[in-house]
Copies of this chain bind each other. A is one copy, B any other.
Amino acid sequence: MKHNFYSSEDVENVPEFIEEALKYKYAPVQLVGTGKTLVMIFFNSSLRTRLSTEIAARKIGMEVITININDAWQWELEDGSAMVFDTVEHVKDAAKVIGTYADIVAIRAFPGFTDRTADYADKLINTYMRHSPVPVINMESAIRHPLQSLADLMTIREHVKVENPKIVLSWAPHVKALPQAVSNSFLEWCGAAGHEVIVTHPKGYELAKEFIDGHRVEYDREAAFADADVVYVKNWSSYKQYGSILSKNTDWTITDQTMKLTNNAAFMHCLPIRRNLVAMDNVIDSNSSLIYEQAENRLHSAAFVLKNLI
């Protein structure tokens, strides 16, 4: 693995990486992190990521310190600017200083949704990585969530026993404008793992070309779900009309009728899930649901990434 864990491109061979991560999951714990410190920095809320990453680090012997950026202050991202407004510290100073204290740094920073170009440049984490003397883990940036995708692919590898499964990524309705990060990364990692994904969503919800390339959009929802082996469900806001909610159409809610179109597909979601909006209780709680397996694999994907960076 490369110096950081930012995207699938930091992993040389994604299929092998997934196999190794699964082996590591069942191997005896080794305290490879003893004497090392992980600093986790949150610009945004978290439950699973915070708990799973911290526990993974502690299980291999690391010390962990978690900071909400509100415990400190906002960072300046622009080089050369006169810092006369709200930002208190330049990201390059923060990165260099934290890098003298920590052995690995993990960052969560969501998109601002006001400027698509800025969000898709993923400036905060990229600037941080450029100045950090120590490895950086992406705990969900403006456009990517690689720890989630690694856990997702580990879960598919473990539980979907079909060769060349048909994987569908389906948009679902939501009441808030959500990032595209989970969907983007799912496509990126599936592509790197050799899976073409069928993406289905209402018109206007097309994802960024850089992520959709190598996959296939199917606007005919029934055709998309037909014979699917995996249904990965996620809401995202529009990329084209950036950050907008174009539809709250509950025809896109996943129901048992939807699932009957499939080849007894596995139901997947990264959580938190809005029940009876994104999908109905009887789908989420069905035997085909892998949501808790995905969540559990967050622990193992984080542990494997940490071990590789140490």
Q: Which of A8-16, A61-69, A118-126, A193-201 contacts B (4 or more CB under 8 A)?
A: A61-69
Complex Cα spacing A295 to B89, Å: 13
Complex Cα spacing A292 to B89, Å: 13
CB pair B175 A90 closer than 8 Å:
no
Q: Which residues of B contact A299 (CB under 8 A)?
A: 100-101
Q: Which of A20-28, A236-244, A269-277 contacts B (4 or more CB under 8 A)?
A: A269-277
Query: How many copies altogether?
Result: 3
Complex Cα spacing A277 to B76, Å: 13
A76-B275, A88-B272, A295-B100 known; A58+B42 contact, CB < 8 A: no
Residue A257, interface by CB 8 Å: no
CB pair A272 B93 closer than 8 Å:
yes
The residues in A between 17 and 76 inclusive whose CB is less than 8 angstroms from any CB of B are 37, 39, 42, 45-48, 50-52, 54-55, 58, 63, 65, 67-68, 71-73, 76
Q: Which of A77-85, A136-144, A179-187, A218-226 contacts B (4 or more CB under 8 A)?
A: A77-85
CB pair B89 A273 closer than 8 Å:
yes
CB pair B50 A96 closer than 8 Å:
no
Most interface-central of A51, A94, A273, A276 (chain B CB within 10 A)? A51
Complex Cα spacing A45 to B89, Å: 13
CB pair A47 B94 closer than 8 Å:
yes
Residue A245, interface by CB 8 Å: no
Complex Cα spacing A84 to B51, Å: 26
Complex Cα spacing A281 to B51, Å: 38
Binding site for B on A (CB under 8 A): 37, 39, 42, 45-48, 50-52, 54-55, 58, 63, 65, 67-68, 71-73, 76, 79-85, 88-90, 93-94, 96-98, 100-102, 175, 271-277, 281, 291-292, 295-296, 299
Known: A88-B274, A100-B295. 13 other contacts (CB 8 A): A45-B73, A52-B101, A82-B277, A83-B276, A84-B274, A84-B277, A85-B175, A89-B272, A90-B273, A90-B275, A97-B292, A97-B296, A101-B299
Q: Please provide the 4 A-B residue pairs with the shortest distance between their CB atoms, ordered closest to farther.
A: A89-B272, A47-B72, A83-B274, A82-B276
